[in-house]
Structure 1
Amino acid sequence: MARLAHHVFFTLKDNSPAAVDSLVADCQKYLDDHDGVIGFSVGRRDTELDRPVNVKFDVSLHVIFSDRATHDVYQTAPRHLEFIERQKENWATVQVCDSLLED
């Protein structure tokens, strides 16, 4: 069964250091350690990398699921929904890129 990569790029209305810290901390608290998560990382955009091809965002989240089924369960998990409720008011844009990983 193919693993699923779930990449989320957040652009914030308020992208102050405190707001970015809050989003990163909530990602770590609410989005890691779900059943089926086999890889997890979250971080801030490296603003020194400013080439024309670089997409502008404030925080990126990368979660690797063991398969599509565990991703689907995660989408409606209470901790995931709580994360959304806590943070959604500060999101200007959210871009999600999901892909099946090749071995």
Structure 2
Amino acid sequence: MTLNSKRHTRMPNLAHHVFFTLKDRSNAAVEHLISDAHKYLDEHDGVVDFSVGVRDKELARPVNGDFDVSLHMVFADRPAHDAYQVSDRHQEFIAQNKDSWANTIIYDSTVN
């Protein structure tokens, strides 16, 4: 079996990327959201990769959007993503932090 055909025989992962712009753009507010992301969003069943960070302000290119915190999660498959979306910990993260968000942009994609 070739690598290419092996890649297409398994269910694709689902990548979930969220970009947060905060009302309070201070370092303390950014660090709070990052801390809560680790507390509530990491280590869900089916997560194969998790990272959260900040926009690299030295890369001031026109293609980079204006955001404060980025969340990147890769799920084993679509069902794992769907279970995460309705999980108590995810809902608690939203409830605890949504008032601090000026804007969120979410991108989901299937990846191999």
Q: Shorter-chain TM-score category?
A: over 0.9
Deviates more, 1:88-97 or 1:47-56: 47-56
Paired residue for 2:44?
Answer: 34
Structure number with greater Rg is 2
Deviates more, 1:87-96 or 1:47-56: 47-56
Paired residue for 2:71?
Answer: 61
TM-score by length of 2: 0.89
Shift of 1:42: 0.2
Counterpart of 2:87 (choices 54, 74, 77) is 77
Paired residue for 2:59?
Answer: 49
How many corresponding residue pairs?
A: 102
Structure 2: runs of 5 or more not aligned? 1-10
Which runs of 4 or more aligned residues in structure 1 lie more than 4 Å from their structure 2 counterparts after TM superposition? none
Structure 1: runs of 5 or more not aligned? none
Shift of 1:11: 0.4
> SS of the counterpart of 1:54?
coil
Q: CA–CA distance in 2 between the matches of 1:59 and 1:17? A: 11
TM-score by length of 1: 0.97
